[in-house]
Amino acid sequence: YIDLDRFSRLLLSRANDAFDYQGGGALRPGDMSHPLSHYFVESSHNTYLTGDQLASASSAEMYERVLLQGCRCVELDLHDGQDGMPELKHGKTLTTRIKLEDTLKSIVKTAFAASEWPLILSLEVHCSPKQQAALARALRAHLGDWLLLP
């Protein structure tokens, strides 16, 4: 039997660290020479939400907050917007919507403020083909050379 205190210490101990500080072959801090799947990536799910997944407000500032905390993978849930541009919201819920433009501005503002490592945008796209094209144009306009394109 292991109690909560001992279990917590085990999880947070150096023996359970993702890095090998002794240099014995595991990944070392700052080493980006391995495939992405070899790394633990700080990720955020439903990044835009300020509270619960059912009825909370959405905010572009949440992207700034998580990026400044070191997050390297953020999620954008995109749905057809009323003005011809995709909007972010948690589908089929009462959460509020935010404009794609505001979100991309927040991402650009803080994308590399706390970390030089690559930023992954996890796009959950529920848009019509017309708004998918608008999304692609907006991503290129705001992110430009930061995008890794095929």
Which are the catalytic amino acids? 45, 90
Give dist(CA 24, CA 5) in Å, integer: 29
Nearest-angstrom CA–CA distance, 138 and 40: 29
Q: Cα 75 to the chain's mean position, in Å?
A: 5
> CA angle, 123 as apex, 36 and 114 as ends, to 5°?
55
Reference 49, options 81, 79, 94; nearest CA is 94
Bridge partners, residue 99, by sequence: 87
Cβ atoms of residues 113 and 67 within 8 Å: yes
Q: What is the rounded distance in angstroms from the CA atom of residue 65 to the CA atom of residue 141?
A: 23
Task: Single out the residue of 59, 149, 150, 52 nearest to residue 103, CA to CA.
Answer: 59
